[in-house]
Amino acid sequence: MCERTYFVDGSMTDCDGNKLSEDGLMIVDQYEDDAGNMIYVKEDMEGNVVTETYDPTTGESTEVKANADGLTMVYEEWDAAGNYVVYLEDANSGDRIVEVYDYMGSMTTTIYFADGTSETTKIDESGNEIAEGYYDEEDNYVTLYFDNDLNVDVTRKTDPWGYYSIEYMMAEELVTYYYDPTGWEIVKL
């Protein structure tokens, strides 16, 4: 039987005696800084690190997250368009990374390299990289990408109201699916 020890600060031990924080992350270091704040360095199973600073005078705590690749989350927010935006910094290279997730699950990543150049990649909700898009004569926004699961080139057309179609060739026939702005498939009769 596993015995756990619970501490006043909300932390506990796991069955192996490792100290865990309230959020289940292993506490790998804790100390008090010069200003009297408690610093907790926590790590998950994948090697991602969260450094929490707790100010006992105000009761406030802040977290800085760094993944196993050395990326540190600087800031996260919801923008005016409803996208979830994450700002990261690479401690090794000095590159800044901005990831924008839209309501459909697509992600646009822009890397601002330390040398002043940048690169943008767009990934759809299925994990496929999307090439740069363009507007056709009917004001549809058209993007082309390679579907990793189907092993085919796909054309996606999104109209000005957010409805979109997915088209690709399978066994020498054009296959087309239609979706509403929330991603529900529309069956055309």
Per-residue pLDDT at 46: 67
Q: Is the dihedral of CA 64, 70, 73, 74 positive or negative?
A: positive
Distance CA 45, CA 43 (A): 7
**For the chain, first and last CA: distance in Å?**
60
Per-residue pLDDT at 2: 57
Closest CA to 164 of 188, 142, 137, 138: 142
- Whether the per-residue pLDDT at 148 is higher than 80: the answer is no
Express each pLDDT in 84-129 by its tens digit.
Answer: 888 888 877 788 888 888 877 788 888 888 888 777 788 877 777 7
Residue type (1 letter), 111: I
Per-residue pLDDT at 178: 92
Biggest distance spanned by C-alpha atoms of the chain: 70
